Amino acid sequence: MSTQAKKRTSQQKHERASHFALSPKQFSECPKCKKPVIPHRVCQFCGYYRGRDVLKLDTKEERKKKKGKKKEAKAKNR
């Protein structure tokens, strides 16, 4: 095994790592529901992207109905 030619000083270490810092995420506003959304992505709250509904998302009421049906089916199978 070889040894290092020169020791990397703490200043050199800091200079090398100076561009490793994380930048904060940039958010834009969904035009439909006005919630923060990452640019060029579908809104996870309403499924809207570039002027149209891309995802068909269930409302709270529909989710509750589905959950109730699953519980009833489970109870029947017992």
Residue 17 lies in a domain: no
9 falls within a domain: no
> Total structural domains in the chain?
1
Pairing of strands 28-29, 36-37: antiparallel
What is the pTM for the complete model shown?
0.51
The amino acid sitting at 47 is G
Query: Quick one: tokens of 46?
Result: 């309403």
Q: Would you say residue 6 lies in a domain?
A: no
Query: CA 10, 15, 21 angle in degrees (round to 5)?
Result: 110
> 75 pLDDT band (50/70/90 cuts)?
confident
In a domain, 12, yes or no: no
Q: Which residues have C-beta within 8 Å of that of residue 30, sequence separation ≥ 6?
A: 36, 37, 43, 45, 46, 48
pLDDT at 28 over 90: yes
Residue 52 lies in a domain: yes
Domain range for 55 is: 25-77
Q: Is residue 18 pLDDT above 80, yes or no?
A: yes
Over residues 45-68, the mean pLDDT reads 83
